[in-house]
Amino acid sequence: MAERRVRVETKVGLHARPAALFVQAATRTPLDVTVAKPGKDPVNAKSILSVLALDAQQGEEIVIRAEGDGADAVLDELAGLVTEQSA
């Protein structure tokens, strides 16, 4: 299972538009994708309610995991979405 640890840089954290973009990108892949705060249980990255419930704020670290062929590319895309400050 591939994993990325990234700091949330979007102004509103992983909420509203950034969360929607994140979930849409995760949903486009057939891979199992999860997201979590370090030390917490992972949630389905394809569920907007689960992602919003993480309450990931700007400056906090999250762990994104994906399993299967192409996992690294999926993780690169998802990590990019939460590290963009303009989102």
Convert 18-39 into a string of H (helix), E (strand) and C (coil). HHHHHHHHHHCCCCEEEEECCC
State the Cα–Cα distance between residues 66 and 1, nearest whole angstrom.
6
- Where are the chain's structural domains? 2-83
Q: What pLDDT score was predicted for residue 29?
A: 97
Q: What pLDDT score was predicted for residue 84?
A: 82
* Catalytic residue numbers, as ranges: 15
Amino acid identity of residue 75, one-letter, is L
The model carries a pTM of 0.93
Question: Helix 16-27 and helix 71-83: axis angle, to 10°?
Answer: 170
C-beta of residue 48 within 8 angstroms of C-beta of residue 19: yes
Q: For 25-70, what is each residue's pLDDT tens digit? A: 999 999 999 999 999 999 999 999 999 999 999 999 999 999 999 9
Looking at domain 2-83, which CATH architecture does it have? 2-Layer Sandwich (3.30)
